[in-house]
Chain A
Amino acid sequence: MNRIKILISLAAAISLSPAVLAQQKPATFIGVEGGISLPLGNFGKASTATALTSIQGTVDDPSGYAKLGGFGALNGAWFFSKYFGIGGMFKYGTYNLKHVDSLSQGYQESFDVDKTSTSVTNYKMWSLMPGLYFDLPLAKKLSLTARGLVGISHTSTPQITVAIEDGGVEDPPVVQSSASKTAFALDLGAGFRYSIIRCVAVDLRAGYFYTKPDFTIPNSGRNNNAGREVTNYDQALGSINFSLAITYQFSRHK
């Protein structure tokens, strides 16, 4: 409770200080950003081959196998006050899969076969999120920025295809097909903006992204109950993101 009081007092002090009161509204801007995305929780975990081995009955798997991903975004805001604005972001990103060898070996041991070859596609995710933007000038060309966005995110899971070969015979492949789902999404971030010239600035930002689609995963070619089989994936797809943006700033208004 004390912390909240301190934060409120600090915000009030900043907003009422003469230096800040003298500032003009931040410029409306539009920018292009790109960055990296570090998946969190089960989304970024990989199970071991031993954990994926099931010779009698199938085994569920909460791991998402997402590697460090990349994304690009369009981002813009209009400021209705000296500190706050409204805006939005459209973001598209992908995550490749890691530890595919564990997946492959899990199937190999589950089916007791000579060889499994596993091929995968990647996660694809786009988001459309309006929200609130904050801009606090720290110096003539430098400001602290923050944003809180909520919206929707559409995610497609990877397709995982496992070719099975034993005794010189190719057996039916195991296919976990891609699933897609749109779900609520949240993006919270903060960073710094530095104006290079009057109308162009660069933004360096760190943020947290969250969505939790409840996927129903289609599987095909599953003839026998053994090995990893994921039919439902209801894990948070959270990430820590770091981005660099080039921003065009429209003329400022008093």
Chain B
Amino acid sequence: MGTIVVFSLSLSGCSKSASTVTPALPGNEFLTTVQLQLTNTADPADLQLCSSTQMSPTTHTYQVDSIYNSKAFLRLKANSTYTGRVIILDETKTPVDTVSDEILARENYHLFFFQPSPILTANFVISNTTTNIPQNDWLTGQPASDTTAFGISVNEALAISAADALNLTVTRTDEDTNNPPLQIGLQGKYVTGVASAGILRVVLRHQPNAKNGTYDPGSTDFDVTYAVTIY
């Protein structure tokens, strides 16, 4: 159950409930699949695509209480720079609906967070331009069985030493049309250091009339974790 809680794509932010003042809106999309597509700037052939989905690979139907992580794995070259983008899909639709286009249209109140873990304390900076998730919202204390498909614990942690850290930094490179502009995170720069392993947690915050660059306001539209190996 814990695994489900950790990995499930949270749909709460984009599904609508009834209201006496403003009734539920029909036809809202599901967020069934979240992909990261990374391209090595020095080697465009080095294209990495990882995917976390709630679509059953066998029945190809949406499973509200399941997560399929067989492709939730990034293999990145050490000491490299990747450009990356987040692709969000609704695979219940035919043809598949690219929900990230809708998120881009609604950029003024959506913000992505990327938390590499383990992370060195020196690299863990919270500000309205960094992508780190505050520690009070970290995944911790999950059972050992709560791992990614590749056996890496989903628990987030500070690295004891540089040798333990996942040497990955993520920065957002796109901005919205707020005044002043705030970052979005659909587009980003992923920089690797020396070989290491860990996880990358990606969270989309829906912050209606509340977006200010920080994590806290609003609610979570999805929360996924990928295993990462830097080689």
A complexed with B: yes
Q: How far is the CA of A222 from the CA of B210 in the complex (A)?
A: 8
Residue A18 is within 8 A (CB to CB) of chain B in the complex: no
Given B12, B14, B179, B211, which contacts A112 in the complex, CB threshold below 8 Å? B14
Question: Given that A108-B25, A223-B210 are known contacts, is A171 also in contact with B217, CB under 8 Å in the complex?
Answer: yes
B210 contacts A167, C-beta separation under 8 Å = no
CB contacts (< 8 Å) of B17 on chain A: these are: 114-115
For residue B58, give the distance in angstroms from its CB to the closest CB of chain A: 31
A222 contacts B209, C-beta separation under 8 Å = yes
Q: How far is the CA of A226 from the CA of B110 in the complex (A)?
A: 12
- Name the residue among B22, B107, B178, B218 with the largest chain A CB count within 10 angstroms: B22
The interface on chain A, measured as residues whose beta carbon lies within 8 A of the other chain's beta carbons, has a size of: 32
Residue B206 is within 8 A (CB to CB) of chain A in the complex: yes
Dominant secondary structure at the A interface: mixed
A221 contacts B206, C-beta separation under 8 Å = no
Given B23, B24, B106, B179, which contacts A55 in the complex, CB threshold below 8 Å? B106
CB contacts (< 8 Å) of B209 on chain A: these are: 111, 164, 171-174, 221-224, 226-227
Given A115, A166, A167, A223, which contacts B21 in the complex, CB threshold below 8 Å? A115
For residue B14, give the distance in angstroms from its CB to the closest CB of chain A: 7
A56 contacts B105, C-beta separation under 8 Å = yes
B210 contacts A172, C-beta separation under 8 Å = yes
- Name the residue among B179, B208, B220 with the largest chain A CB count within 10 angstroms: B208
In chain B, positions 1-49 with a C-beta closer than 8 Å to chain A are: 12-17, 19, 21-25
A-B contact count (CB 8 A): 98
CB contacts (< 8 Å) of B108 on chain A: these are: 55-57, 224-226
Dominant secondary structure at the B interface: loop
Residue B109 is within 8 A (CB to CB) of chain A in the complex: yes
Residue B66 is within 8 A (CB to CB) of chain A in the complex: no
CB contacts (< 8 Å) of A118 on chain B: these are: 21
A164 contacts B21, C-beta separation under 8 Å = no
B21 contacts A113, C-beta separation under 8 Å = no
Q: How far is the CA of A194 from the CA of B125 in the complex (A)?
A: 82
1/0 contact string of B150-174 vs chain A (CB within 8 Å): 0000000000000000000000000
CB contacts (< 8 Å) of B221 on chain A: these are: 167
A223 contacts B25, C-beta separation under 8 Å = no
B208 contacts A101, C-beta separation under 8 Å = no
Question: Given that A167-B219, A169-B219, A226-B109 are known contacts, is A114 also in contact with B210, CB under 8 Å in the complex?
Answer: no
Question: Given that A112-B208, A114-B17, A225-B179 are known contacts, is A171 also in contact with B107, CB under 8 Å in the complex?
Answer: no
Q: How far is the CA of A111 from the CA of B177 in the complex (A)?
A: 14
Q: How far is the CA of A134 from the CA of B13 in the complex (A)?
A: 65
Residue B212 is within 8 A (CB to CB) of chain A in the complex: yes
Residue B148 is within 8 A (CB to CB) of chain A in the complex: no
Residue B207 is within 8 A (CB to CB) of chain A in the complex: yes
Residue A180 is within 8 A (CB to CB) of chain B in the complex: no
Residue A109 is within 8 A (CB to CB) of chain B in the complex: yes
For residue B33, give the distance in angstroms from its CB to the closest CB of chain A: 19
CB contacts (< 8 Å) of A172 on chain B: these are: 209-210, 217
For residue A224, give the distance in angstroms from its CB to the closest CB of chain B: 5
Binding site for A on B (CB under 8 A): 12-17, 19, 21-25, 105-109, 177-179, 206-212, 217-221
CB-defined A-B contacts under 8 Å, sample of 23: A55-B105, A55-B106, A55-B108, A56-B108, A101-B21, A112-B14, A112-B208, A114-B19, A114-B24, A115-B21, A115-B22, A117-B19, A164-B208, A166-B208, A169-B218, A172-B217, A223-B178, A224-B108, A224-B208, A224-B209, A224-B210, A225-B179, A226-B106
